[in-house]
Structure 1
């Protein structure tokens, strides 16, 4: 097993903790730092913490929007929702000519959110919408065994090697952690934007002490269930990869088949 693969697998469990990763893998700390800060970004990888939104007191909703407006117009509105509301993700479905959106909403606002969508229909911004609660939205761990970290390419014989580790199916119930504060959330946001930020970096940005950042980070650590790696080729990504949504009956066999695909994200 290559050094990089060892570091990547430890990274997904522990996050960018150089000393912990070095101790578990036997890779020197200086090499771990180089791999996380230099090599992986050059290969097109981005590191982000995967957060259990249920522990933030939020419920996932999948909303399909059918709009008479040109897609470019609705994109501007959705961007605004992402900045000022609870929109986490959106994509335009070419075949259906509809927008797929994912919101994370406090349950107490479910009624007012539905009223808001009804108003959009009334004003002709959308024709209709379909809303469904999601039991969970979990990130699938990167199959590091299927990526050649020396040459920066996916291995072609991945079908011959099924995923070894189990990916637990855990429902996210909206139940906010006791004592969570606004400062907890601000610190979590900064770690999400750049997990390689140090306590000192975040303390300087939020104008608080390093000790305060460390104390609050330990409070919110339980909201993170995985450190995920996104792969997106740096040059001409639109020519290399295409996002695809798959709708299927999720029995045991289908779920196992999906999880074996190295490129599966959610």
Structure 2
């Protein structure tokens, strides 16, 4: 018996095309391998441009500017990568990946640039960490599935908890010492051991009492303000991820899960 296939007319329903992967697994591996150094470079450059000496030196990790500017400006790149990973791939690990990449990049910079090249001990230049705050940011996005809730709750947690998550590293440098009759901290005395161009100005600010002698209530106020500022800057990172990453890439191929 011969089967005659009827030509499909314009009104006949067309079966949906099977899901096809745009990129093969080799390209996906290559993309993953290139993505890590790209995030390391972007996040590290962001911190060096916007934070600078407050991230470099242990004696600059004071209780006014370091816990304020570092989390508030450090949320830009995690927010952008979080948007890309969640909006296109539904992978809630964007901020955590950024925090891990920053730890790798910072320690490479501290070891090779400062310790190996400039012979400055790592104890003077240890980097901060965003890892725990980034995990909380990703968990809030995973549970809420809302960028607004993530910005408000996650941004507040990112800024407020930054100081407390880094306090175990900073606590030994906040111990009080009597330095030639002047009450300073261990971090303050480090400026006398390694003189830098910014040291005289920084010591002048300390002597005026505008920064810290010991940790007090102003740390809580700065942490709260850092949380509110981080929540606002989070939306700026989302715009970067949407219009500088996802939208241009979408002109050439579509990011999607397999």
Q: Do these two structures clear the TM 0.5 threshold for a shared fold by scoring above it? A: no
Highest CA radius of gyration, 1 or 2?
2
Structure holding more strand per residue: 1
User: Quick check: which one's helix share is greater?
Assistant: 2
**Under TM normalisation by the shorter chain, which class is it?**
under 0.3
TM-score with structure 1 length normalisation?
A: 0.23
